Structures are given as C-alpha cells and as structure tokens.
Structure 1
Amino acid sequence: MAFDKDCFYCVKDNRLTDIMIRICDLEASTLYLFKEQTYRGRCLVAFNGHKSELFHLTDEERNAFMKDVARVAQAMDKAFSPTKINYGAYADKMTHLHYHIVPKYEGGPSFGGTFEMMPEPKVLLSDDEYTELIEKVKRNL
C-alpha cells in the first residue's frame, strides 16, 4: 500500500487527531468523525493507501472505496435523518483520496449551498457527545 511520510492521513499523527476522531476501519478506507460539528454527523472516509485521484485506483479498489462511501452515507442517513447528504472530494493541497460526507438539514447551516470546510465559529462537543455520534454511526453501518 502506498504511503506518504508528509501526509497526515498516512502518518495519522496529531495533524489528523486534532481535527478528527477515528470511528472504524472499512473495506478500503478508514472512517473518521470531524470534531467540528456545525453539520451534525459530518464524517470523512479516507482511502487506505496514498492515492490522489479516483482514476489512480484499480477497478477493485475504486469499487470497494465507493462502496465504503455509500455505506457511510446510508448509515448517516439512518442515524441522523438529514434532509440531504453532501459529498466533497477536495484535495488541492492534501493529495490523499478522501470524501467528506456532510449531512445537511433544511433550515440548517449552508442548506441549499456548499458546506463550509472550516466553518466559524466552530461547534465543538463534549467527549460524551462525540461518543454518542460515533455509536449512532457504528450501529447503522
């Protein structure tokens, strides 16, 4: 599996753990919960292995990765009942293949538009609240 020593998704150091909490490993990826929770339930699915584009994956890798993305989105739909789920695959500077899975709620932040990557002010939760969100996702995977 490809590895980039400068990539926090590969290294899994404090650059990653300061902003996300690992939920679990999936077939081709790792699932994280964002600590910033403006969009209740916002998660990220990071491919296991350093690749920067979907077309860099083999057919099997791509199918497994996209299956993980769909599985997470379905779990989030069951767990949080959002109006819509947004998907973001931005990586101009952090070139590790990953998808933001962002539940959106009618009347909530950025509904009808693009979700904010780093919204201000930050919505941070207690450890118990993070645990509750993680358990809801896990129960529905």
Structure 2
Amino acid sequence: MSQPCIYCAQDERISKLMIEICKLRVSTVYLFREQSYPGRCVVALNDHAKEFFHLPQDTQDAFMRDVAQVAQALEQSFEPDKINYGAFGDTMPHLHFHVVPKYEGGHAWGRMFDMNPAENVQLSDEEYQERIVKILAHLQS
C-alpha cells in the first residue's frame, strides 16, 4: 500500500514543502517554502477529495470562499499586480489550490507560474514568520 497523501498524513513531507498558517472554514492555509513569488500559499481542503466537483455544494462554496479570502489577504499583504491560481493535482491528488501573487517584471510575469522555479528561493525562519504574521493580520481582519 502506498503512503497516504501529504495533506492527510501531515508528516515530514508536508513540512519540507510548506508551513501551516491557519485553518479556515473547510481548508488549511500554508505558506509555500519556495518563495520566488513572495507570499505564495496553498489552500488545501481539510477532508480528502480528489476532485472539486465531488464535493457537496456547501463545501464547494466554503472552499472557494477560503481561496478568495486567502487571495484577498495576499493582495493586501504584498500588493501584487495579479494573483494566479493553480489546481492541478496530477501527482498529488488531494484538492488544493496554489494562490500565487505575481508581479509585473517579476518571475514568470505574463506566463503560468512555475511550480518549482529553478531559483528555489528559500527564506530564513524569521523571514517566513514575518510573511505569516503579515498574511494572518489580513486573514483575520
């Protein structure tokens, strides 16, 4: 039997990729450790589901409200020129959205964001914490 997905297992695989920020209505918000796109987050459904359309309508509505709430917090926190959304799941079939602030003249402007940019921008623990505090301030306002 293969390992459960990282969102369900909540093991070291997830902590290598992202840092939990908080829980919302039906999801958990994570700061993606790779920060080529300052503020990039992941919003993952708390219950395991492979497809958005498999969810009951009220859960669909709540999940998209969570995604919108995170996007708004990122806009207020980092003032991007645009926010991109990605929900692929080919290799990680647990419903989650990447919410990716994009900046004109910045990394991958004018094209789809890179899932794993070659630059692989990693921050110090203090820098991650600063971004999390900033996001939380706008999520809770």
Name the TM-score class by shorter chain: over 0.9
Runs of 4+, deviation exceeding 3 Å: none
1:90 aligns with 2:88: yes
In the aligned structure 1, how far is the partner of 2:106 from the partner of 2:91? 29
Among 64, 67, 72, the residue aligned to 1:66: 64
SS in structure 2 opposite 1:132?
Answer: helix
In the aligned structure 1, how far is the partner of 2:92 from the partner of 2:130? 29
Among 111, 114, 118, the residue aligned to 2:112: 114
Match of 1:102 in 2: 100
Residue-by-residue CA offset, 1:106-131 (whole Å, 9 max, x unaligned)? 00000000000001121000111000
Residue-by-residue CA offset, 1:42-93 (whole Å, 9 max, x unaligned)? 0000001110111000001000000000000000000000000000001012
Could you tell me which runs of 5 or more consecutive residues in structure 2 were left unpaired when the two chains were aligned: none
In the aligned structure 1, how far is the partner of 2:127 from the partner of 2:33? 10
Overall identity of the aligned pairs, in %: 54
Could you tell me which runs of 5 or more consecutive residues in structure 1 were left unpaired when the two chains were aligned: none
Measure how far apart 1:5 and its partner are.
5.5
1:56 aligns with 2:54: yes
Q: 2:9 corresponds to which letter in structure 1? A: V
* Alignment TM-score, normalising by the size of structure 2: 0.96
Match of 1:81 in 2: 79
In the aligned structure 2, how far is the partner of 1:35 from the partner of 1:93? 19
RMSD across aligned positions (CA): 1.0
In the aligned structure 2, how far is the partner of 1:119 from the partner of 1:57? 31
SS in structure 1 opposite 2:71?
Answer: helix
Match of 1:28 in 2: 26
In the aligned structure 2, how far is the partner of 1:127 from the partner of 1:86? 25
